[in-house]
Amino acid sequence: MKLTDLSTVRDIMSRHGVTFRKQYGQNFLINPTVPERIAEAAVASDGTKLGVLEIGPGIGTLTRELAVRADKVVALEIDTALMPILAETLEDCSNVTVINQDVMKTDLAELCQREFTDQGYSLSVAANLPYYITTPILMKLVESRLPLDTITVMIQKEVAARLCAPAGDSEYGAITASLAYYGKVERLFNVPAGCFIPAPKVDSTVIRITLHKQPPVQVRDEQTLFRTIRGAFAQRRKTLANSLTSEFAALGREAIAKAIEKAGLEPSVRGERLGLEDFARLADALDEMQA
């Protein structure tokens, strides 16, 4: 069954009485090389018992490619209407389990332990993420502290540019610095809008996040680090000292200024100039001020 064939997609959806649902950001791939490349990037390990968690399988296009390369695939699909389609398109994939569940309401730690780690599988994530919920899903994945090797996802091209931007770049932001704490983000390849049905209004990019075994910086308190990052970008046009008051108002401007100085930073610097190590030093200095 060729799930990237336009007539096949339309036939399957017609037979099951299913239409594309905008609230779930459904855009299905009709370029056969794209799911193959995503699957190759997602299942890159040479180890045994390779496990993959897929988010939003749609009609199973990427799922089938993952099933060929991994030992076990668990796919979370929020749309109940797609479950009969997936039962048909994945009928011959004995190593795939589809769960009708919203990833944002799922206890991912419990699911991954039950389906993968308790059974000795390694674990990676693969997905064609809906544009409207990309950041919340990515942050849930990393903040859940799952035993992940990699996260390989297709996202909006502009968002990918933001996630991969270096410090000092105009695209660099709070999400960039926060994700850098959890893993190394790399851009793999672009996917034109014409590779989908229905075609979105923007192009996409496939990125891969390789999770750190240990954080690249050590801090006194992680929550203070993330508050520092959020505060630094709260008011991008203002200096770091002024912007940080959104998160550390209780400290007062004088204490914030002293913390910036203690971290070895210029008082006039702006948040987008700071790398993760800078944020770590600043967070520790602010944490000491709060003690």
Structural domains in the chain plus CATH codes: 6-211 (3.40.50.150), 222-290 (1.10.8.100)
pLDDT surpassing 70 at residue 50? yes
Q: Give the Å distances, CA to CA, from 237 to 128, 243, 263.
A: 34, 8, 21
CB 156 within 8 A of CB 202: yes
pLDDT surpassing 70 at residue 251? yes
pLDDT of residue 260: 96
pLDDT surpassing 90 at residue 21? no
Tokens 């018992």 -> residue: 49
210 three-class SS: strand
pLDDT surpassing 70 at residue 24? no
pLDDT surpassing 90 at residue 19? no
pLDDT of residue 237: 79
Q: What share of the chain has pLDDT > 70, as a percent?
A: 97
Query: What pLDDT, in 10s, does the model give residues 146-205?
Result: 999 999 999 999 999 999 999 999 999 999 999 999 999 999 999 999 999 888 899 999
pLDDT of residue 46: 67
pLDDT of residue 42: 96
Query: What pLDDT, in 10s, does the model give residues 72-97?
Result: 999 999 999 999 999 999 999 999 99
d(CA 130, CA 153): 10
From 157, 147, 149, select the one nearest 208 (Cα to Cα). 149
pLDDT surpassing 90 at residue 267? no
* Alpha-carbon torsion (43, 47, 51, 53), positive or negative: negative
| Burial class of residue 69 (count of CB atoms within 10 Å of its CB; 0-12, 13-18, 19+) | middle
| Burial class of residue 46 (count of CB atoms within 10 Å of its CB; 0-12, 13-18, 19+) | exposed
